A = this chain, B = another copy of it.
């Protein structure tokens, strides 16, 4: 058996998230079908984590074992024949049998992209969160600074989440502005709770538009009650950029 790791980019617009499911099409299913075709056997992958409906990836990682014989350097090209254009395998590597895309991950980086536009942009509606006026990036960065370090992130967990360990270590949380209209939030940490990035971005944008203060953001984080954080940012601005091993 060979053990393989794939790095994948996908536009999540047309899928019901990454995970294989019964009544809708997840990216995992499309990928496993393509792998089945090139390796001539049923393949099940482990992924670094799920992404929700509408969420994108520049560097999702999956691992699997196969007895198939396609040379590693040809896997990406072979898969391209069976994958739709919105799912691209960027890299294929051999890994030791102990490697697991989910359990071997030590950190992840996400980006959240916003477009500031008074009139809706029909071209970026599936790839950014469009907001009407430029928020106060400095205030948002002050809020972001509070996230860095080891914290209990219960405040930004999702309602449906059953995770026990809500302590996560955030290495980096940075707002950047590109040109007149694009804003991007980059966050890197050892783990993320379900909906955590979208909940954080939602609350930080409320800071940036003056709806809550940085001090209030700090209290929300410290009190740790997810009902205080408010509405999550929508899925289409979120990108899983890189998984670190």
Contact = CB atoms under 8 A, between A and B. Distances in A.
A76 to B, nearest CB: 8
Interface stretch (A41-49, A66-74, A85-93): A85-93
User: How many copies altogether?
Assistant: 2
Interface string A184-220: 0000000000000000000000000000000000000
A120 interface: yes
Nearest to A9: B122
A56 B122 CA distance: 10
Nearest to A12: B122
Nearest to A11: B122
A147 B87 CA distance: 38
Nearest to A56: B123
Contacts of A157: none
Contacts of A88: 119-122
A108 interface: no
A185 to B, nearest CB: 18
Contact of A11 (B9, B10, B87, B123): B123
A127 interface: yes
Contacts of A10: 122
Given A85-B125, A86-B125, A88-B121, 5 more contacts: A9-B122, A10-B122, A11-B122, A88-B119, A123-B127
